[in-house]
Amino acid sequence: MSNSAFIVFIVLMTIFSQIFHAKTVGSITCGTAKDILKPCLRGVFAQMPDDECCNAIVSANRQAIGTPARQALCECYKDAVKSTPYRKIINFPEICHIPQAVPISPLVDCKRIVGLAMGRENVQAGRKTQRQKNEEKKLDRAKKRVKRAGRLDEHNQVRSAQSASRPSSTSWTDCQSAQLSWVECLAVELVGRAWGWL
């Protein structure tokens, strides 16, 4: 009798441990993982996540560092994405620039997800905020304007040197010698005529 009770006890413990283990993702449950992602549901209509949503995705990834935890989080996401509102947040980890984030997709093979070799702080450090991305775009635009202004200065120097030798008229060869595109040449000519240079 004691052997059969012991065997029943072991079988029940095995079943219950697997049930409780399946619902836990590292240190969070699937329900908690879905709750963490609720700020992202506001971005569903805008198609772009805000900083609060990106931080929520980072938070969920921070709590699932090891391979089993990340695979379990992947399975939770897979279940969550089946419901309508979560389906639209599939691309949010990429849009938020979160390196090595657990993918939010119904098509991913969660058994291929591996744990992170880097620390938790690196997950946050790799993510760019929307403000940083906007500042980078502004900097790129400013660099392009400076480059165009430099070409315009070269063109004006060539033009002033040529204006001494012949009457003021714009030709395609003037623009080619300054290595400007036809649009830039047209802009220079229009500005020159407006200011009375030509």
pLDDT of residue 169 exceeding 70: no
| Cβ neighbours for 86, distance < 8 A, ≥ 6 positions apart | 34, 37, 41, 80, 104
| Per-residue model confidence (pLDDT) at position 114 | 81
CB-based burial of residue 170 (10 Å sphere; 0-12 exposed, 13-18 middle, 19+ buried)? middle
Residue pLDDT, tens place only, 117-162: 544 444 444 455 677 777 788 777 877 777 777 776 676 666 666 5
| Per-residue model confidence (pLDDT) at position 21 | 42
Higher local confidence (pLDDT), 167 or 198: 198
Cβ proximity of 25 and 76 under 8 Å: yes
Task: Please report, for the chain, the start and end positions of each structural domain, with discontinuous segments joined by +.
Answer: 2-128, 138-195
- Nearest Cα to Cα of residue 31 among 80, 88, 84: 80
